[in-house]
């Protein structure tokens, strides 16, 4: 930006650009935080999801055997004596329910982090529309180390859309869980795999996170 350009700017223009730079930095930082939280959740809870699936399968199997016992007066696989089968089932259901509830609380944390990301994105988008796009502003134009503002707007929209979709898929599959239906846990396990396209999108977007500091505020 030349000295004549600076003279052409109003105080409102300068303030709007400063606000946009700050909003972009905040959005980038919230994106980093959300991705770290999401990956941390998926990595740390994967073993618990497998445990839930195993318990659900056992409950499903034992419930089926209990039904057969009532009809044929014997346990086909002799897993448990008929008199203790109900007790074992109750203990398994209690254990599974406890794990599911604890896991659900951590999923709520992920949703809370997504909410923070969404708020920061709204503020960033709003700040972009406060700019006078007819001016030759550095943040709009970009430079050798900084992508143009439209890149962050477009890619930011993609990041938000994909992040919401991933979190929604987790929530939908989790809410569909039935303790005695192992298939519902299998379906939930599938949501723990992040698509390569999403990871590539994040890597491309976040590689410019550090470079945001090239723009003085």
pLDDT at 62: 83
The mean pLDDT value for 204-208 works out to 76
**In the structure encoding, which two tokens stand for residue 217, read together?**
């505020």
pLDDT class for 140, splitting at 50, 70, 90?
Answer: very high
CB of 142 closer than 8 Å to CB of 211: no
pLDDT at 74: 47
Give yes or no for residue 93 having a pLDDT over 80. Answer: yes
pLDDT > 70: what percent of the chain? 82
Give yes or no for residue 100 having a pLDDT over 90. Answer: yes
Least confident of 64-68, 74-78, 136-140, 174-178: 74-78
Residues β-bridged to residue 143: 146
pLDDT class for 16, splitting at 50, 70, 90?
Answer: very high
The mean pLDDT value for 59-82 works out to 59
Give yes or no for residue 78 having a pLDDT over 60. Answer: no
Residue 136 falls in which region: left (phi positive, over 0), alpha (psi -120 to 50) or beta: beta
Give yes or no for residue 209 having a pLDDT over 80. Answer: no
Could you read off the pLDDT of 33-53 as tens digits, one per residue? 999 999 999 999 999 999 999
């Amino acid at each position: 930006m030349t000295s004549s350009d600076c003279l052409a700017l109003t105080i409102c223009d300068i303030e709007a650009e400063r606000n946009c730079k700050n909003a972009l930095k905040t959005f980038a930082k919230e994106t980093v935080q959300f991705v770290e939280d999401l990956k941390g959740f998926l990595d740390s809870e994967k073993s618990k999801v497998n445990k839930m699936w195993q318990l659900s399968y056992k409950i499903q199997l034992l419930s089926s055997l209990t039904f057969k016992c009532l009809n044929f007066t014997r346990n086909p696989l002799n897993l448990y004596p008929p008199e203790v089968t109900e007790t074992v089932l109750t203990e398994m259901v209690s254990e599974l329910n406890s794990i599911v509830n604890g896991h659900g609380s951590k999923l709520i944390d992920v949703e809370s982090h997504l909410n923070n990301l969404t708020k920061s994105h709204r503020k960033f988008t709003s700040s972009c529309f406060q700019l006078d796009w007819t001016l030759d502003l550095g943040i709009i134009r970009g430079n050798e180390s900084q992508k143009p503002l439209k890149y962050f707007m477009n890619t930011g929209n993609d990041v938000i859309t994909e992040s919401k979709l991933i979190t929604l898929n987790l929530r939908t599959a989790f809410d569909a869980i039935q303790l005695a239906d192992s298939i519902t846990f299998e379906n939930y396990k599938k949501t723990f795999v992040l698509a390569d396209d999403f990871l590539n999108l994040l890597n491309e977007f976040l590689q410019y996170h550090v470079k945001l500091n090239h723009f003085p505020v």
